[in-house]
Structure 1
Amino acid sequence: MKITSQMIADKCGVSRGTVDRVVNGRANVAPEVRARVQQAIDELGYRTPAQRRQAQPARHGTTIGFVIPGWGDYYTRQTRRGIQAALRRIGDPSFRVEIRELTGRSNHEYCTCINALEESKIAGLVLNAADTMPMAQEIDRLTAMGIPVVTCNSDVPDSARVCHIGQDLVKSGRVAAGLLVPMLAGGDVLIVCGNREFTAHRLRVDGFLERLYELEGDIGHAHVIECIERYDLTYDGVLREVRRNPRLRAIYMANESVKGCMDALARARAPQPIHVVCNDLTPYAREYLADGRVDFIVDQDFSGQARRAVEVLYELLARRRKPTETIMHVRTSIISRELL
């Protein structure tokens, strides 16, 4: 007997629209109703037409897309390494990953890239994108077409994505604050982030300020600037702040460019020491940590994020196994000079 959405609705005493919202991971459903509908879906084995089409074996194997934003060579290399590690673990020659690297970060470039992947008949997509309404709508559109989306590194939480895999970003920011506060000695702190439209950038800042307030009772001595991870904007912004504020004692580099920050500090020649904590063990960050210009690095596993995202989509597409969690965190590490 074919199970329909109306049968699920009748069993649970809800409308077909509510069933559709639960199936597609949309909002505006009470938690207890969502749990009841999901239980009925699982018990009866209901699948939408898009899910039934997706479950049909492909003649030429399965291909998923993986969109890599233009975040620099280190991030790209680590992400590609994770993808290859996943393919080796999976060991299925019929399963492929089509990688697309972006040069910009606009919604238009993302959508153009996704459309090209759709033309390649991808069965799923791994996406690292800004948390914007156009991207949420794009993920919802793909999901409605039977193309599941996993977000990686930076989340789009108000979308129908299957799950998110990345660093515990609030914890990352809190750790950085815990490392820097003892070095402030009553001075000010500068927070340099990329673009707060990216969840990965915004939540680090939120976590830092949250912990700073807990430890200091005040965040009035903290100043945030956005530099879109560009060398020139970071250099100019840090140089301006060092020259403007003689009370500056610490910098939290929530994102790149660490090189821009270090070059600005060298140019400014501040009379007082300025301590720096940065994120991610990039080649530049490693160099600056080794020579003492950076005090600590809060690292994350880019490779592990990519590997797990590919594995989740494979399990979903090839074995029909949904992830048990909607958010999966990779490890966060503190690296000091002594650990290099």
Structure 2
Amino acid sequence: MHSSFPSFRWLYYNTHSGKYHQRTAKKACFRPLFFSHMAPLSAAVHFSLFANQQKNAIIAYKKKEGGGTMAVTIQQVAEACGVSRGTVDRALHNKKGVRPEVAAQIQEAARQMGYISPRVRPAIDDRTVRIGVVLHSAASPFMQILADIFRTHPTEVMLPVETIVRVQENREPKLQLALIDELVESLHVDGLVLAPLASERIRERIDSLTERGIPVVTVNTDIEDSSRLAYVGPDSIASGRAAAALMGLALGGQGMVLPITDQQFGHYADSQRLSGFTAEMAENFPGIHLLPPVSCYLDSELIERTVLRELENNPMLNGIYPSTAVRTGAFRAVQRAGVAGKVHVVVHDLTPDNLDMIRAGVVDFAIGQEVQVQGTLPLRLLYQYLTRRQAPEKRILTTNIEIKFRYNTEIIPSGPD
């Protein structure tokens, strides 16, 4: 084996005996049923189905090397797939001479391993890296803060990165795709930071960009089965569970809560927060009744009217949980109804409006998600990858949960959130 090729250890599984046998491969003389490429992951092995109709499964895993992760080579893809370099080259560049089903398997293997063709995107040296940023929900105070960090951070820390930030007003996937196309096709960005909307077309676009050699880091929300380089942001299900625990504490385990979402589709974080919230309530707070969630569609006045109506129709209502980014209407409704302090409110994000409402006694708890980390780490990850081909050791980088209430609103450990 060529000296520069990373050492592989093959795990041979006999389906008849049910036992595994290890041996070091001198060369890839067999086609694996499963393969796993551990770089840049440092722990769990992920398997990708490569073929079937075989008696014995062969699992290959690459041992993680110290000092970062090297770029995957075409030789490594060939070794993992048990084919020649020429076959891999033809498959990856849509040349003739490879059966379509084999080409599809090789392309999927290369995608899983993180291979990027040097013909498409060589490493960038000695120039400013251009990174596009696409966010949504322009009316959200959190997204406004996040966008500002993306714009200013490179200059503040002298990072040789130029950021081009686009923030769409709504959560329409077609508009997000158009903004991505503008940054990639017209402005020729080297990499992309994306707060993805819940759409199969968005996932496909992430995969397409990765295949073209344009790395994508998802931020704030994730599409886990996409080929993005990494995700930086909260565990939204855990955040929803934290909100439920705080609400349960505020209500003493008894009461009625109104959940409010932005809309029933389009944004993973909303549905994940609500999922975590309802699960935690069901498991640990059986004395709290949840009303059916209402959708506000990013309309603050609609939230206000809805909350006022629910307060009038449900005298036992003593908790409001806006998982939505647009919650000022709920605050106004609580104040207009004169129930501040009687109806408990738990919200997400350590934004100025939320902190002001805590001080005013309208909001009990606000849950943060380290906006400063979300606005800076994706740029550093892309810069390291584009200039050094150094992939992150972890693909999922979860931000911490921060909790603010009336006694600690002046302490913001990671910048405004």
Which TM bucket (shorter chain)?
0.7 to 0.9
Matched, 1:189 2:257: yes
Higher relative contact order (Cα pairs below 8 Å, separated by 6+ residues): 1
Task: Answer with 1 or 2: which has the greater Rg.
Answer: 2
Matched, 1:14 2:80: no
Task: Name the counterpart of 1:142.
Answer: 209
Structure 1 residue 294: Cα displacement: 0.9
Task: Name the counterpart of 2:48.
Answer: 29
Give the Cα separation in 2 of the matches to 1:260 and 1:44: 50
Q: As a proportion of its length, which structure holds more helix?
A: 1
Structure 1 residue 21: Cα displacement: 10
User: How far does the alpha carbon of each residue in 1:116-145 deviate from its partner, in whole angstroms, 9 at most, with x for none?
Assistant: 111211111000021221111111111111
Task: Name the counterpart of 2:171.
Answer: 105
Note if contact 2:300-2:329 (Cα within 8 Å) is conserved in structure 1: yes
Give the Cα separation in 2 of the matches to 1:35 and 1:260: 55
Q: For structure 1, list consecutive stretches of 5 or more residues without a partner in the other structure.
A: 4-8
User: How far does the alpha carbon of each residue in 1:38-62 deviate from its partner, in whole angstroms, 9 at most, with x for none?
Assistant: 5599789515453553234368542
Structure 1 residue 318: Cα displacement: 1.0
Matched, 1:161 2:188: no
Structure 1 residue 114: Cα displacement: 0.8
Give the Cα separation in 2 of the matches to 1:35 and 1:88: 46
Give the Cα separation in 1 of the matches to 2:239 and 2:363: 17
Matched, 1:280 2:338: no
Which letter does structure 1 place at the counterpart of 2:383? Y
Structure 1 residue 157: Cα displacement: 1.6
Give the Cα separation in 2 of the matches to 1:212 and 1:161: 33
* CA distance 1:43–1:158, shift in 2 (3 Å): closer
* CA distance 1:312–1:49, shift in 2 (3 Å): closer
Give the Cα separation in 2 of the matches to 1:202 and 1:291: 29
Task: Name the counterpart of 2:283.
Answer: 214
Matched, 1:177 2:244: yes
2:373 to 304, 312, 325: 304
Where 1:338 maps in the other structure, the secondary structure is coil
Structure 1 residue 104: Cα displacement: 2.2
Note if contact 1:165-1:305 (Cα within 8 Å) is conserved in structure 2: yes
Which letter does structure 1 place at the counterpart of 2:329? G
Note if contact 1:81-1:303 (Cα within 8 Å) is conserved in structure 2: no
Identity of aligned residues (%): 26
Give the Cα separation in 1 of the matches to 2:288 and 2:203: 32
Which letter does structure 2 place at the counterpart of 1:29? S
Once superposed, what is the RMSD of the aligned Cα atoms?
Answer: 3.6
Which letter does structure 1 place at the counterpart of 2:134? V
Where 1:328 maps in the other structure, the secondary structure is strand
Task: Name the counterpart of 1:325.
Answer: 394
User: How far does the alpha carbon of each residue in 1:266-312 deviate from its partner, in whole angstroms, 9 at most, with x for none?
Assistant: 33456992111111122221221101111111112222202111111
* CA distance 1:11–1:314, shift in 2 (3 Å): farther
Matched, 1:46 2:73: yes
User: How far does the alpha carbon of each residue in 1:82-117 deviate from its partner, in whole angstroms, 9 at most, with x for none?
Assistant: 325642576343x32111121222111111111111
Moved more, 71-80 or 106-115: 71-80
Note if contact 2:146-2:371 (Cα within 8 Å) is conserved in structure 1: yes
TM-score by structure 2 length? Answer: 0.69
Matched, 1:91 2:158: yes
Where 1:322 maps in the other structure, the secondary structure is coil
Structure 1 residue 212: Cα displacement: 0.9
Note if contact 2:195-2:220 (Cα within 8 Å) is conserved in structure 1: yes
Give the Cα separation in 1 of the matches to 2:222 and 2:215: 15
* CA distance 1:236–1:129, shift in 2 (3 Å): farther
Structure 1 residue 176: Cα displacement: 1.3
Note if contact 2:219-2:374 (Cα within 8 Å) is conserved in structure 1: yes
Give the Cα separation in 1 of the matches to 2:325 and 2:162: 31
Query: Where does 1:196-207 land on structure 2 (aligned, <5 Å)?
Result: 196-207=265-276
Q: For structure 2, list consecutive stretches of 5 or more residues without a partner in the other structure.
A: 6-26, 51-56, 75-114, 410-417
Task: Name the counterpart of 1:235.
Answer: 304
